[in-house]
Amino acid sequence: MTRQKILITGASSGLGEEMARRFAAQGRDLALCARRVERLEAVRDELRASHPGIAVAVRALDVTDHDAVIRVFGELRDELGGLDRVVVNAGLGKGARIGTGRADANLATARTNFVGALSQCEAALGIFRKQNSGHLVLVSSISADRGLPGPKAAYSASKAGVSALGEALTAELAKSPIVVTTLLPGYIATDMSSKAGDSSALTATLDDGVDAMVSAIEKETNRAALPGIKWRGIDVALRFLPHAWTSRFV
Give catalytic residue positions. Answer: 155
DSSP letter at 99 equals T
In three-state form (DSSP H/G/I as H, E/B as E, the rest C), the secondary structure along 59-72 is EECCCCCHHHHHHH
Angstrom distances, CA of residue 102 to CA of 91, 108, 169: 18, 10, 33
Write out the DSSP string of 166-206: HHHHHHHTTTSSEEEEEEEE--B-SHHHHHHT--GGGPBPH
Q: How many CA atoms lie within 13 A of 181 on its CB side?
A: 24
Residue 9 host element (H or E): strand 5-9
Write out the DSSP string of 16-75: HHHHHHHHHHTT-EEEEEES-HHHHHHHHHHHHHH-TTS-EEEEE--TT-HHHHHHHHHH
Reference 15, options 86, 118, 87, 63; nearest CA is 87
